Structure 1
């Protein structure tokens, strides 16, 4: 095998190890996330719209995105989530970020159009056992199929959405 072939195999090995470590960290950070959603859980968006995430997940996977105005990593993940909201069902939860007007102003100033629920007291995040922002849960047919916290790349989120269908 030539020098470039060996470098490619070595790089592939590093990528596999990095992916395994990232997966392990996700499992550790999110091991308390519930595996199924209660049917009766209905949340209200900033626009006053009632949302049943479990019901919504019967038709297609739902990306549930926990973020905060004070989160230093969220500004790098939020634009990707917003972009995905054009083609996927995205519900975001603003965690302890202030009153509705403050959250709405933040969304507008950052040009974020995803559907948002204000979790000003942290009740929703406690229900899902989420303590780290950003956290992304993929929910399909009432089940949490993926949970990840921290920076997540666009291909990583797309892969989780795609894999949730199997």
Structure 2
């Protein structure tokens, strides 16, 4: 085998190890996320509308997105979540990010239009045992079918939404 072939195999090996480590870290961070929704969970959006994740998840999967204005990774994931909100049920939860006016200003500045709930004290995040931002949960028929935290690619999120239907 020539030296380019050996370099390719070595690079492929590094990528496999990196992917395994990333998967392990993600699994560790999200192993305490409940598999079913907390009882009678109704959230209120910044616009004041009541949101029932359980009811919404009966029709189509719901993408529940935990993020924060202070999170360094969230600005790379939020545009994808916003794009998906055009075609999917998306509820975002702003975790410990200040008052409604601050969050609304941030959303406007970042040109994000997804439905947002303010979790000022982290109470919603605690119900789902969220320990890192960004975290994405996929919920279908009252069950959490997928949980991932950190950077997530658009194909990765779409695959999770698709797989949640089975």
TM-score (norm 2): 0.89
Which whole-Å deviations, capped at 9, do the CAs of 1:1-52 have from their partners, x for residues lacking one? 9x99999888777665554433322211011111101351101000101001
Any unmatched runs of 5+ in structure 1? none
CA distance in 2, matches of 1:124, 1:68: 13
Alignment of 1:160 with 2:160, yes or no, is yes
Shift in alpha-carbon separation, 1:60–1:9, aligned structure 2, 3 A: farther
Any unmatched runs of 5+ in structure 2? none
Q: Tell me the equivalent position of 2:22.
A: 22
Matches within 5 A, 1:9-158: 18-158=18-158
Shift in alpha-carbon separation, 1:156–1:14, aligned structure 2, 3 A: farther
Q: Secondary structure at the match of 2:58?
A: coil
Which whole-Å deviations, capped at 9, do the CAs of 1:55-110 have from their partners, x for residues lacking one? 11111110000000000000000000000101111000000000000000100111
Shift in alpha-carbon separation, 1:18–1:145, aligned structure 2, 3 A: farther
Is the CA contact 1:38–1:54 (under 8 Å) kept in the aligned structure 2? no
TM-score (norm 1): 0.89
Is the CA contact 2:45–2:117 (under 8 Å) kept in the aligned structure 1? yes
Is the CA contact 1:94–1:118 (under 8 Å) kept in the aligned structure 2? yes
Q: Secondary structure at the match of 1:57?
A: helix
Q: Secondary structure at the match of 1:90?
A: strand
Number of residue equivalences: 166
